[in-house]
A and B are shown apart, each in its own frame.
Chain A
Amino acid sequence: MSAEPAAPGPAGAGLAGVRPEPGVAKPDPILVVDGVARYFGGLRAVDVDHLEVQRGTITSLIGPNGAGKSTFFNLVTGFDKPNQGRWTFEGQQLAGVPAYRIARRGMVRTFQLTKTLGRLTTIENVKLGATGQRGEHFLPAIFRPSWAHQEREIEARADELLERFNLAHMRNEFAGTMSGGQRKLLEMARALMVHPRLLMLDEPMAGVNPALTQSLLGHITALRDDGMTIILVEHDMDVVMGVSDWVACFAEGRLIAEGTPRDIRANKAVIDAYLGSSRALPEETAPVDPAQPDEVEDTP
């Protein structure tokens, strides 16, 4: 697929002049991570000294398999507990806050291995994402009139999202009947129902067919243009280079490089990281050989 222009758009403008160094401070960070580390036995899965994510940007998280990207997602969204470290979202401390509260505060993630609710219909999956539902309280739930109006609004919004993600034809099917790519789309639609301010997508394009990938990328940039911040884990270097305002590269749990796509492409540490683990790469990565990122076509 063809990459979009690599130059940061207006959204990336805030990052102009930020030096491409790991842990560098950003002018308007939405997420600030400090000394977060997670060990599995003796294995250092994540150990990030400092990382800031600029508000209103698409920040891609790259790195070879096992670099700790998904674990990092789990830690900052409360799905796993770090051995040490603190992090703030919109200035609020999040260490020790349960995952569901973090989601309600506007930091919503999807999973690398999709978690569709198989025996719920597609529309139910999406409607579930809406927050502040009166009908989710025990007593009001019994009396339909107390939540019917809100439910109609939620349903309308859910239908819009299904339309946008090309899932309208699956509306009343069990989500368990979906293909892998459709599940990825469903997860993203569902996450959007939560009204996230920071959306964290763990390999959202994996298994999605190329035509749809393009429109998905379109949605992601549109969300960014509407002011949402997006963190994207992605293996396809074309996609990363085309869509990101900023790229952070992990290797063996450490943040080894940060910068604009242009900076990252030329970064020695990134090239080494991918070369060092090139045996693990082929199954999951893009057709582009990331070991030689300099050769990536930069379509103007």
Chain B
Amino acid sequence: MDFLSILGNGVRGMFGPEAAIYAIAAIGLNVHFGYTGLLNFGQVAFMLVGAYGVAVSVATFGWSLWVGVLVGLGCAVVLALILGIPTLRLRGDYLAIATIAAGEILRYFYRSAYAEPLTGGVYGLRQFADPFFELNPFPPGRYGIGPIDFDSRSLWVMTVGWILVVLISLLVFLLVRSPWGRVLRAVREDELAARSLGKNVYSFKMQSLVLGGVIGAVGGALLAINVQSVQPDSYNPVTTFYLYAILILGGAGTIFGPIIGSIIFWFIVTFFDAFLRSAVGAGWFGDLIDGADVGAIRFVLVGLGLMLLMAFRPAGILGDPKELRLDVR
């Protein structure tokens, strides 16, 4: 068993395009859940409309990729309004129900025969992001040190992805330390108190839902560009729960939480993927586990990691455990 290459895989996962993309989507969820207390269980829906905004614009309508990205972000704004207008005046659980349903409804709609002329149905769309890769400044080849290396394509997506992570985090940082962010956190703590001080809570929740949703759509668009394809079934509800896992790992309501969370999450997933595969290959587990089980088992390990975390650092890696001990009635 080549431990160095397994570790290399893990490290590659930590910084690869997926880690950056999930970090972006988790930053959006952090705006909702971490700062405003909105229970959005359908962040994947925002990723989906972002991804399909790009894919449909380019592959179906033949528009430019950059217009496609804007279309994707616009769709996220519309989705946030559709979800928020009826539910944000009600108790928090209504948003939770609406968002989890919306994610599934959208997925079924995009994969339906009815939508096939636009979305490609179950097969999805592909090969729409060439203009992005034409801008790739890295000549073909492999880049890296030792077992940690990336091809020029991944390196380009990673570079753009992590730059976006930094820019979006900076934006969120500027916003949450402002009086605007103070109102969001007040809404998270107690809506009625914020209202009694003259704050239009509904409007702030809506702004938060739109902002976090658009950030989620940025992640979705980059995900579609990264793999040059969209398929409805890659946007299933479990993605949202990975994002929650990331957020809780890193620390909700902190700026670096979603970033650190995504890096750790992807390290665990890719490291154990490689580890289990080579262990199975070496016959360590006999007949107990075969190659097909590996995919599931690595997420069991993520779950185990989360349980350990809840036991020892319940506020997340970066969260302030003092906050959890507060009597926040």
Inter-chain CA distance A134–B180, complex, in Å, is: 9
Which residues of A have CB within 8 Å of B189? 116-120
Q: Which residue of the partner chain, among A113, A147, A191, contacts B179 with CB atoms under 8 Å?
A: A147
Inter-chain CA distance A131–B200, complex, in Å, is: 11
Task: Tell whether A111 is near chain B: CB-to-CB under 8 Å.
Answer: yes
Do B323 and A141 touch (CB < 8 A)? Answer: no
Q: Say whether, besides A138-B180, A141-B175, A119 and B326 are in contact (CB < 8 Å).
A: yes
**Interface residues in A116-152 (C-beta closer than 8 Å to B):** 116-120, 124, 127-129, 131, 133-138, 141-144, 147, 151
Inter-chain CA distance A59–B201, complex, in Å, is: 30
Task: Tell whether B159 is near chain A: CB-to-CB under 8 Å.
Answer: no
Task: Tell whether B183 is near chain A: CB-to-CB under 8 Å.
Answer: yes
Task: Tell whether A7 is near chain B: CB-to-CB under 8 Å.
Answer: no
Task: Tell whether B60 is near chain A: CB-to-CB under 8 Å.
Answer: no
Stretch among A18-26, A102-110, A235-243 lining the B interface: A102-110
Do B327 and A176 touch (CB < 8 A)? Answer: yes
Do A111 and B179 touch (CB < 8 A)? Answer: no
Interface residues on A, range: 35 or more
* Residue of A111, A129, A144 with most chain B CB atoms under a 10 A cut-off: A129
Do A136 and B175 touch (CB < 8 A)? Answer: no
Q: Which residue of the partner chain, among A134, A136, A176, contacts B183 with CB atoms under 8 Å?
A: A136
Q: Say whether, besides A118-B329, A174-B323, A141 and B196 are in contact (CB < 8 Å).
A: no
Q: Which residue of the partner chain, among B197, B328, B329, contacts A103 with CB atoms under 8 Å?
A: B197
Do B198 and A104 touch (CB < 8 A)? Answer: yes
* Residue of B188, B193, B253 with most chain A CB atoms under a 10 A cut-off: B193
**Interface residues in B247-288 (C-beta closer than 8 Å to A):** 253
Q: Which residue of the partner chain, among B178, B192, B253, contacts A79 with CB atoms under 8 Å?
A: B192
Q: Which residue of the partner chain, among B185, B195, B207, contacts A117 with CB atoms under 8 Å?
A: B185
Do B190 and A117 touch (CB < 8 A)? Answer: yes
- Closest residue to B324 on the A side, CB-wise? A119
Do B183 and A128 touch (CB < 8 A)? Answer: yes
Q: Using an 8 Å CB-CB cutoff, how does the interface string of B163-187 with A read, 1 for contact, 0 for none?
A: 0000000010011001111110110
Q: Say whether, besides A118-B329, A176-B327, A109 and B196 are in contact (CB < 8 Å).
A: yes
Do B196 and A115 touch (CB < 8 A)? Answer: yes
Which residues of B have CB within 8 Å of A151? 179
Q: Which residue of the partner chain, among B174, B197, B329, contacts A144 with CB atoms under 8 Å?
A: B174
Inter-chain CA distance A133–B199, complex, in Å, is: 10
Do B323 and A191 touch (CB < 8 A)? Answer: no
Inter-chain CA distance A194–B198, complex, in Å, is: 8
Q: Say whether, besides A117-B186, A117-B193, A120-B186, A147 and B178 are in contact (CB < 8 Å).
A: yes
Q: How far is the CB of A182 from chain B (nearest CB, A)?
A: 12
- Closest residue to A195 on the B side, CB-wise? B198
Which residues of A have CB within 8 Å of B200? 98, 100
Which residues of B have CB within 8 Å of A143? 174
Task: Tell whether B91 is near chain A: CB-to-CB under 8 Å.
Answer: no
Q: How far is the CB of A284 from chain B (nearest CB, A)?
A: 19
- Closest residue to A109 on the B side, CB-wise? B196
Q: How far is the CB of B320 from chain A (nearest CB, A)?
A: 9
Do B323 and A119 touch (CB < 8 A)? Answer: yes
Inter-chain CA distance A135–B204, complex, in Å, is: 13
Do B186 and A128 touch (CB < 8 A)? Answer: yes
Do B196 and A103 touch (CB < 8 A)? Answer: yes
Q: Using an 8 Å CB-CB cutoff, how does the interface string of A171-200 with B read, 1 for contact, 0 for none?
A: 000101100000000000011011000000
Q: Which residue of the partner chain, among B174, B183, B328, contacts A119 with CB atoms under 8 Å?
A: B328
Which residues of A have CB within 8 Å of B180? 135-138, 141
Q: Using an 8 Å CB-CB cutoff, how does the interface string of B202-246 with A read, 1 for contact, 0 for none?
A: 000001000000000000000000000000000000000000000
Which residues of A have CB within 8 Å of B326? 118-119, 174, 176-177
Which residues of A have CB within 8 Å of B192? 79, 111, 115
Inter-chain CA distance A151–B171, complex, in Å, is: 19
Which residues of A have CB within 8 Å of B183? 128, 136
Do A142 and B171 touch (CB < 8 A)? Answer: yes
**Interface residues in B77-119 (C-beta closer than 8 Å to A):** none
- Closest residue to B201 on the A side, CB-wise? A100
Task: Tell whether B194 is near chain A: CB-to-CB under 8 Å.
Answer: yes
Inter-chain CA distance A224–B197, complex, in Å, is: 20
- Closest residue to A139 on the B side, CB-wise? B180
Q: Give 10 CB contacts A-B under 8 Å.
A: A101-B198, A103-B197, A103-B198, A118-B328, A118-B329, A135-B178, A176-B323, A177-B326, A190-B197, A191-B196
5 further A-B pairs in the complex, CB-CB below 8 A; given A109-B196, A135-B179, A136-B179 = A99-B196, A100-B199, A118-B327, A119-B328, A136-B199
Chain A residues within CB distance 8 Å of chain B: 77, 79, 98-101, 103-104, 108-111, 113, 115-120, 124, 127-129, 131, 133-138, 141-144, 147, 151, 174, 176-177, 190-191, 193-194
Top 6 A-B pairs, shortest CB-CB distance: A176-B326, A118-B328, A135-B179, A141-B180, A141-B178, A115-B193
